[in-house]
Amino acid sequence: MPAENVTAVLPLFNASLTHAVYLFMPHLEESHRVHRDLVANVDNTCFVDEDRIIALCHKIGCRFWQIPTSGMVAIDSFVASYGKVSLHGFNFFQGRKMHYFDETPMQLILSWLERTFTHDPACEKRYVERLIADGKASFVNPDDSPVPSPKLSRGDFGWLMTAWLWICRWSYFTNLGTKIPAGLVVRASRALHVLAFLVLCWTPFLIYCHMSLIPSLHKSPNGVMVWHALILLWITLPLIIVGHALLPAFPPSSFNVFLFVLFAVAFFHLFLVSIIHPTWLGTALFQMLLFLFEDLPAGAWMWCLLHVVRLQRHTCQQHQRASPLSGDDDVVIIGNAPTLTSGTALGPQIDRFPTVVRFNEFTVDPVEFSGSKTSFHFCSGRTLPSAKTSVLPHFNASLAHAVQLFMPRIEDTWEIYTRLTSTDVWFIDESRILSLHQKIGCRFWQVPSSGMLAIDAFRDRDVRLHGFNFFQSRRMHYFAETPLEQLLSWMESSLHSPREKNYVERLLKHGHVAFLSPPDDTDSESECEKKGGVRQRLPRLVNILLKDGLPSQFSV
């Protein structure tokens, strides 16, 4: 028990049932005395609340079976009370000897078990590094300061990590064809229901397919039709869908490669399926295809959905704090269109605004055109928040967008989740997204772009726009992109409605927004429509069906 005038703190009593019971173990014979002493000194004893420990678990990024160390609980408590703390004697269990004092063999075993299984020293070290970076903590002795945790490369893990990365990439790309597009018509709030379906229904069905259906497929009179149907679902349709989104981003010569692959798939359909279907080779190939195109993608979906559900529960806490988007300052919203770096350089004028909003993989180069100030960073699913003023506009847009937060870098899912739950990221509500969906008049598979959601979020302020061309040029952004980023950008642009331009024009007409500099073209009808190009006018009946007659996020 504590000495006189010393307050005893029990940091981990409320951490778990095991830690509560551990207060009276391993010396069960002294349980009554321990209880009596605690009751007698209740005014001199403090218990850390369970809610504070749970919140700290999210900040640090502990796994579900782990808890923070006593040191992390103390740091978190005093940072909350005093704003800044000084540290000494922390090495995050990086030495062979864990404590500066001698321990009995039993104490050594218990300390090793706690360090190995109960705590996560690497995550705790990164948490302290973030506190130091934010000016909330410092070390008394500069020699104590931890060296920033190096990022491990693929070579540090050898072929095993390389294989794991290939599996993650494959799982993502096979989901791109039909499964992620199917998630566009399901609300993000249905994530738990979809996860339950995949675990309780789809996984047993896949096991049944491997164990029973596929071995008997070569004897079935309809086996060839099953082959054709699944090859169509797994390869042909995804090839057409991804090709449709990818080809506009590349030179016309790439169309020849696409045609060659398409003809190869057609050749497989017409000639090879009937040959290999009745053979043992066909059965083995079908088992492999089912594993590659169903098992791995389903596993990726379940892994990502698990973190989506956990993140949704975490976001429920944001209703307890004021929205960072509220205020009355003037706002300038900077888009990423190529028009940002053409015309007059407005960088200094942009930096004079009290609030500057930017998107996704923005850069401030060239600074004379883009400015250097950033107040809010609206991030897409593939961009990690860069500051505490980050906003995730599309997490609640659809189930596909929620999962996209953890794709394509499935191997970094835990790191992404930890970073999101340890910062004050703001998530746009599902109800606001659906309301804007109706205002714009998006099709059932489309969602408002990040730019439209930003305009809607700041609609009560004086808003200026710059760097918007509504995806009307072949080049989509003013900065350079990798082929994968180009693919994702073009696929995302196909999910945004051309009616967004009409919506902004209505806002301009009523004085709700204004352009920082007059755009080159503000006609309501795009050039491709005038020339009878790619976007043709659909028959009235088809328009009605696409808007109202097919399943949408409003009904699923």
The confidence score (pLDDT) of residue 248 equals 66
pLDDT (0 to 100) of residue 475: 62
Residue 2 lies in a domain: no
Model pLDDT, residue 549? 39
Q: Does residue 207 belong to any structural domain of this protein?
A: yes
Does one domain contain both 82 and 160? no
Peptide bond into 408 cis (omega under 30): yes
Are residues 70 and 211 both part of a single domain?
Answer: no
Number of domains in the chain: 3
Question: Which of 284, 302, 320 is the last residue before a domain boundary?
Answer: 302
Are 356 and 454 part of one and the same domain?
Answer: yes
Q: Is there a single domain that holds both residue 484 and residue 434?
A: yes
* 283 within a domain of the structure (yes/no): yes
Residue 192 is assigned to a structural domain of this protein: yes
The C-alpha R_g of the chain, in whole angstroms, comes to 28
Which stretches of 214-368 are assigned E, i.e. beta strand? 331-334, 355-359
Higher pLDDT, 206 or 37: 206
On whether residue 66 sits in a domain, the answer given is yes
Total residue count of the chain as it appears in this document: 556
The mean per-residue pLDDT over the stretch 108-130 comes to: 78
How many other C-beta atoms are found inside a 10 Å radius of the C-beta of residue 142? 7
CA 190 to chain CA mean position, Å: 16
Q: Do 504 and 375 fall into the same domain?
A: yes
- Same domain for 219 and 342, yes or no, is no
pLDDT for 62 beyond 70: yes
Asked if 371 and 461 sit in the same domain, the reply is yes
Q: Which residues make Cβ contacts (< 8 Å) with residue 324, sequence separation at least 6?
A: 376, 389, 391, 424, 426
Sign of the C-alpha dihedral computed for residues 552, 554, 555 and 556 taken in this order: positive
Residues 134 and 234 in one domain: no
Q: Kindly state the average pLDDT of the residues 393-421.
A: 85
Q: Which two tokens stand for residue 208?
A: 């049944």
Task: State the average pLDDT over residues 82-94.
Answer: 83
Question: Helix, strand or coil for residue 466?
Answer: strand
In-domain check, residue 458:
yes
Q: Which helix (H) or strand (E) holds 47?
A: strand 45-47
Domain identity same for 284 and 401: no
What letter represents residue 48's amino acid? Answer: V
Q: E strands, 298-429, where?
A: 331-334, 355-359, 376-378, 390-392, 426-427
Do 79 and 185 share a structural domain?
no
Segment holding 45, helix H or strand E: strand 45-47
- What is the SS3 assignment for 441? coil
271 lies in the same domain as 179: yes
Predicted confidence at residue 466, as pLDDT, reads: 87
For 279, the domain range is 154-302
Largest CA distance in the chain: 89
Q: What is the pLDDT of residue 485?
A: 58
Structure tokens at 226: 């099953």
Give residue-wise pLDDT tens across range 27-53.
777 887 877 777 777 677 888 888 888
| Segment 96-115 mean pLDDT | 74
Is residue 121 located within the same domain as residue 202? Answer: no
pLDDT above 90 (res 155): no
The pLDDT value recorded for residue 195 is 96
Task: Give CA–CA dist 86/144, Å, rounded.
Answer: 11
Is 356 a domain residue? yes
The domain boundary, picked from 144, 169, 201, lies at 144
